[in-house]
Every structure is written in structure tokens, then in C-alpha cells.
Structure 1
């Protein structure tokens, strides 16, 4: 069995219980994991300069930075505030040398039932942000989320929707493909191939879908515990030309209650056997 873990990345949401930015990095490094995807809260806790130093001094790959987005708002002031915050996220991603800034684009503004209008706000916000991101050398990775999140977190829910948006935006806009959100899509194979042809796959997130799932947000499964054919999924991603690390992102009350070391050891074992 190979000991090479260069194809494995850890999203900090998976092991929040490990503590600070530096503590999570240390836990990963002690197991030979050298690719990470931090959240803004962890970077803020450490300070951007210190987080960037840790990344640089340890030769880490930052496969993604979580997160930008949440463009829709009830008024112009809210939309401007969202853009300002996204520009700060771009600056942070650039300082960390992240492969991409992951965009969870946002759902319906409070009190709204206008889903097409929310999607238009996302498209407008992305179009305004993208030139700034290009100038900073940061790619924007739209992450389509499961349709159950359309109302509050992401009104772009399929790869096709997200790729249509990226095509309209142009260079520097691509997708983060998370198995949890798109494994069910009957157009999955065709849309992954499409993304690959355009060079628009910027990140690949893995976990598993449990049956039953008791909490749509916080009951993601450890790889191998659910119903997603992860090896087939990875085959589709690689056939499309993406060979970057598989980033483990598991929001889970049950795994969050276990020691971070146990979680990481389980991830390494599952990465070697089922991914």
C-alpha cells in the first residue's frame, strides 16, 4: 500500500476540534499530509501574516480557501458590503497562495421568493469581483450545492448551472466539485467532462452520503460509509484532466465529537482504500 499522501488535502471544517490554524497544520503534518484548505475564521485567528508564514515555511499546498460568495442581499448596501468582503477574501487567498477561492454564492435574500433574481445578483456580483480576482492571480471556484440549500446558501445547484455561469464570466472562473452536492446529478458525467475540456475544474471535495442522512448540513459521511461510488467519481475527474488533491470536507456532528487525531487517521485509511 502506498504511503504517498500528496493526493490528499484536509479542509479545516473536517477537524475544527483540533484547534487553531497552527494546531490543525501540525496534526496534518504529523501524518504526512501537506495539502490543506483553511477557512477564513482560522486565518483570522492566527493572523493572515502568520498563517501565510506557516504555509510558506512548511511548503504546504493550499488547495482552496473557504470561502467567498453570499452575494444576494435585500438592498444595494448589502450587495456592496458583500463585494467588499469578497475582495478581502481574494486578498487573503492571494497571500496564502491558494489554488482557488471557493465561492458559496448565496441563496435568497431575507424575505424574498425571487429565485431568478437571486441568481442574477450572483452573476452580477461574480462579474464585478472577477477582474479584481484576476489582478490578484486568484481563481474563483463556484461550488454548486445540493438543491436543499437553494433557499439559504447557494442558488446554483448543478454543475451545468455553475458552468454556464463560468462560461459567461470567462477566464478565472471555474468550479469546485464536491461529491456530496452533485453525486445524484443525472448529467454528472457529461458536465464533469465539459468542465475538464474548458479547464474549469479547480477543486475536488470528497466525503460520503449517508442513508439515512439525518442532518443535511452536519451529517456528511466518512468516505466508505455511504452510497457514493468515490472511485468512479474520481475516475471521471481524472479523465477530465484534473489530478489535484482530493480535499476531504466533512461537516459532521458525529466526527466532530471525536478526537481530531482519530478523524485524520481514519481519513488516511479510507483515502488509501476507498477513494
Structure 2
């Protein structure tokens, strides 16, 4: 058996269809999986719910919603509507949180401040809906190298500045080591998030250079890079978070490996560099 808090994010075995991802994850001894909307859509929501129930696995999170930075118009309305559907899917699958990627600067714009403000506006439209569904909207700050095209929210502090405008049950944050390890304020911000019950998900993977030509694919197994999992995990645990911990890796070489091999290697890496700092922490 793997550590009881370890969850395999489906992106780590990207090419596995939902049924295969659930089987591989369960066979490797995991008790939890983080799902993505696209594989769920491929088989349909009702069939996905049945597959998850039959697998015996918990769903630690649903990825992803967001992309809120467009100016008002038909495309923004479509994005808001799609996020409502994502909330419904998250609730149906029993996941506690929908991970949100804020969105980058819209084409033709240089207005970073305005783009960030539209993220807050979107959450204002969605927070009550999420609250009624029992789903936490989890803002994931991304490393600043993604600010132009993926996420105008770059630090945990920025994510909390937005989240704290809403009930903690409706809007929280994701602590993803790949994205926040570099931030000199990260430990203080983790404590801040814990004080208001805002940590909706903890995700771990490592950072190593040189980065891939496509920087999106630069994640590594925990322990294969420079991230200090001791300090970050200790801070997350001290904050009061006791939920599942996902390993989420985007890396072409890992994607091309066999799924059982990746699941096993992920569990071993987690046991080596994350588990030692989880003593006494139980499953929510």
C-alpha cells in the first residue's frame, strides 16, 4: 500500500483513459486519484461516476476550471458557463475541490491588473453556485513564467488576496510545490492560508534545470530536483491541512513510460521525500 494521503493526479499518466487510470492507480495501492475533465468527458459523466465508484478510489480534486481573464462578451460568458458545468462534474464525482487556472493576458492586451481583476469578478459570479454544490473553487497560483499565457495569479499571496473575499468553503487555494517553491514569502503565506482554512489542495512535484523547450513539461518526480519538500510539507501540515496530497507531473519522458512503472516510481519518490513529514496526519 502507498501512503494513505498520496493521490496520483491523472496528468502524471496523461495518456491513460479514465478506466485504465483508475485501474492502474488502484492496482498500485493508491486510495485516491486526481481527475481531469477531458478524460471524464470522453466516457461521459454518468459512466465516469460509475467507474470511480467501482474503483473504490477517492477523487482528491477535479482539474480544471478557470480561464477568467477575457473581457466581457460571448467568450467570457461561455467560460463562466463552462465553469458552472465543471462545478457540477466535480460534485457528481465526489471531489472536494475544482482546481482553477486563472488564465493569461488576453490577446492584444497588456493590462495585467485588469486581467487579475476579472478573475475576482468571475469568482463573484461562481462562488455561491460552488457553495451550494459543496465544491471549493481552488485558485492555483502558477510560476511567473506562465503569467502571459496561463495564469495572471503567480503567488500564493495573490491567490489568497482573491480567495479571502469569499467564504472559505467556496474559494480556497492550491499549494503546488512546482509553482511556489521559489517565493521568499511562501512559508508565511502557507501559514496565512491555514489560519483561514483556505488550503484546498496540496500538490507536489520537483523543479530541475535545464527546463524543457516547452516549459509546461518541466516537472519531475519529487526528489529529482531542488525543491525543499521538508519545509513546504511541514508548513502545510502545520497549517492544519490533512487532506490528500497529489503528485502531478507534466513531463514527456514520464508520459511515454508505462503507466504502472510511473505509478510505482511516483509512490517511491513520495515515500522518500514527502512521507517523512506527514507523521500523525490522517485522512479527512
Q: Normalising by structure 1, what TM-score? A: 0.96
Distance in 1 between residues matched to 2:92 and 2:68, nearest whole Å: 23
CA distance in 2, matches of 1:29, 1:5: 13
**Partner of 1:253 in structure 2?**
252
Distance 1:211 1:110 in 2: 29
Aligned to 1:122: 119
Q: Which of 202, 205, 216 is equivalent to 1:204?
A: 202
Q: Secondary structure at the match of 2:172?
A: strand
Q: Deviations over 1:221-246 (max 9, x none)?
A: 11111000112211110011112121
> Would you say the 8 A contact 1:37–1:62 is kept in 2?
yes
Shift of 1:75: 4.2
How far did 1:256 drift? 1.1
Gaps of 5+ in 2: 275-284
Find the residue that maps to 1:202 and give its secondary structure: strand
- Residues 79-135 of structure 1: per-residue CA shift (max 9 Å, x gap): 111100000000100100111000001111111110011011111011101111111
Q: Is the 8 A contact 1:139 1:174 kept in 2?
A: yes
- Contact 2:23–2:55 (CA under 8 A) maintained in structure 1: no
Aligned to 1:9: 7
Aligned ranges 1:65-104 → 2 under 5 Å: 65-104=62-101
Structure 1 residues 4-52: Cα deviation after superposition (integer angstroms, max 9, x where no partner) = 42111011110013x2101000001111112011111110112111111
Q: Take 1:123 and 1:78, find their aligned partners in 2: how far apart are those partners? A: 17
Structure 2 counterpart of 1:153: 150
Once the two structures are superposed, the pairs formed by residues 232-251 of structure 1 within 5 Å of their partners are 232-251=231-250
Structure 2 equivalent of residue 194 of structure 1: 192
What is the rounded CA distance, in whole Å, between the counterparts of 1:13 and 1:57 in structure 2? 21
Are the aligned partners of 2:139 and 2:159 in contact in 1 as well (CA < 8 Å)? yes
Q: Paired residue for 1:185?
A: 183
What is the distance in 2 between the residues matched to 1:262 and 1:165? 39
Distance 2:89 2:247 in 1: 21
Are 1:40 and 2:37 matched, yes or no?
Answer: yes
Q: How far apart in 2 are the matches of 1:201 and 1:70?
A: 20
- Checking the alignment, whether the CA contact within 8 Å between 1:211 and 1:227 is kept in structure 2 is no
Aligned length: 272
Task: Supply the RMSD in Å over aligned alpha carbons.
Answer: 1.1
- Out of 51, 55, 74, the position equivalent to 1:54 is 51
Residue 74 of structure 1 deviates from its aligned partner by 4.3
CA distance in 1, matches of 2:19, 2:190: 35
- For the residue of structure 1 that corresponds to 2:201, the secondary structure is strand
CA contact (8 A) 1:219 1:254 kept: no
Contiguous gaps of at least 5 residues in structure 1: none
C-alpha separation between the residues in 1 aligned to 2:174 and 2:52? Answer: 21
On the 8 A contact 2:26/2:57 being kept in 1, the answer is no
1:23 to 20, 23, 34: 20
Cα distance in 2, alignment partners of residues 228 and 58 from structure 1: 33
2:61 is aligned to 64
